[in-house]
Amino acid sequence: MSLDLRWSTDLVTFFDPPYWGLPADLPYDDWEREVDNDPRRFFDRMLDEAAQVGLAGIELAPAPGGWVNALNAYGTAAAFKRELDRRNLQMSSSYVLPVFLKAAIDASDPRAQADANRALEEDTARHAAFLREVGCPTMVTSTIPRAPFSDIAGVEASAAAFDAPVDEHLMGVVAEQLDRIGRVAAAEGLHVAVHTDAYSLASRTDDIDLLMSLTDPARVKLCIDAGHIALDGGDPLAVVQRHAGRAPVLHWKDCASHLPPHTLSGPPMTRHDVMIKYFRVMGPDGVVDWAKWTQILRDQGWRGWGVAEIDMSPDPQRQIREGIDYFNRTLATDS
C-alpha cells in the first residue's frame, strides 16, 4: 500500500552562502542582510529550484526565508501565491522562530506579561492572515530549550540540567502560550504545529507526551522532525507511533549520531553550525530506521506533507532528490 504524502522542502535547505556566490564564512547576520536587500532575487531562485526538482510545495523558513521576506519580495500574499501557483507549488507550512513566544514565557511581572502576550498575538495574527491568503493551514513554531546552554565557547553546560525531568509548571506555561497561538491561528482557519527541535521541551518522547496532553489537539499539532529527535538521543519512532495522527507535517531528515546538548557552546548560530554537521539526508547513512518509520505511518493511515530538507545544503537540488529517490526506491510501497 502506498503512503499518501506530498513532498515539500524547507527553504533553509537553500541557505548555504557559497551556493549564492557568497563567502563560506559569512556571518549569519550578514547573510540575512544580503537577502533583506534583495529578497525577490533569492525567493525567485529558491521557488524555481523547488519546482525544478519536482516538489509539490515549500515550507517557509526562519528569517531571512520566512513570510516577512516573502511579502517584501512580492508585495502581497496574493502576489506570492501567484508565484507559487505558476510553478505548481503549494505551501506545506511556514516556520516562525519562537522569539515572541519566549518573551511571553519569560515575562517577569503582570505588565510585562500583558505586553508580551499582546505582541505574541499580534505577530501570530499577521502571520496567520498571510497564510490564510496563501492557502497554507499550518504555522510551525518551536518551544524553548530544556536547560540553558553555555554562551561561552568551549565551556560546557550542565549535562544534569538537560537530563533532569522537565519542570511541569514550566511545561504548563509553555502549553498555555501555545494554546494562545493556536486560538489566534484558528481564527484564520489554521492550526499551529510544534517543531520537535533538538534539546527543546518538545524533543524527548515523555516531554512531547506531556506537552500534547496539555494543549488543545484541534489547534496545537506537531511537526515531527526525525533528525532533530535523534540528534537529542531520542526515539523518533516512538514519537511518530504515538503522535503521527496529530502531525500534518513530518520532516524526513536523519543524523549521523547523538550529539549531547551540554557539549554545545557559544552563541546560538555557533551551536547551530555544529549541529548541522551531524544532520544527514534521509537514507541509509544515518541512525533513523526509515523502514519502520514508514511502516508506522502506513499502519496508521497517515497522510500529509513530507519535508525533505537539510540545513544549508551546498547542493540543495541534489540532496533533495537523494532523499526522495531513497524513499521511492526503498520505502514507497509496502514490501
- Residue 289 and residue 331 in contact, taking contact as beta carbons nearer than 8 Å: no
Question: Would you place residue 23 in the very low, low, confident or very high pLDDT band (cuts 50, 70, 90)?
Answer: very high
Distance, C-alpha 1 to centroid of its chain: 28
- In angstroms, rounded to a whole number, what is the distance separating the alpha carbons of residues 95 and 10? 9
Judge whether residue 115 has pLDDT over 80: yes
Residue 111's pLDDT is 95
Alpha helices, H only, the chain = 28-37, 39-52, 67-74, 77-86, 99-106, 110-134, 159-163, 168-186, 205-214, 226-231, 236-243, 268-276, 290-300, 316-330
- In angstroms, rounded to a whole number, what is the distance separating the alpha carbons of residues 63 and 222? 21
Angle CA(277)–CA(282)–CA(287) in degrees, nearest 5? 70
- In angstroms, rounded to a whole number, what is the distance separating the alpha carbons of residues 232 and 196? 10
Residue type (1 letter), 214? L
Question: Would you place residue 2 in the very low, low, confident or very high pLDDT band (cuts 50, 70, 90)?
Answer: confident
Q: What is the pLDDT of residues 267-307, one digit of tens each?
A: 999 999 999 999 999 999 999 999 999 999 999 999 999 99
Q: What is the pLDDT of residues 245-265, one digit of tens each?
A: 999 999 999 999 999 999 999
- In angstroms, rounded to a whole number, what is the distance separating the alpha carbons of residues 11 and 100? 22
Cell readout for 40 is: 525577490
- In angstroms, rounded to a whole number, what is the distance separating the alpha carbons of residues 299 and 218? 22
CATH number of 4-330, picked from 3.20.20.140, 3.30.70.2740, 3.40.50.300, 3.20.20.150:
3.20.20.150
Residue 1's pLDDT is 64
Judge whether residue 184 has pLDDT over 80: yes
- In angstroms, rounded to a whole number, what is the distance separating the alpha carbons of residues 95 and 64? 11
* Closest CA relative to residue 7, chosen from 241, 295, 282, 292: 282
- Coil, strand or helix: which one is 47? helix
Average pLDDT across the chain, whole number: 96
Judge whether residue 220 has pLDDT over 90: yes
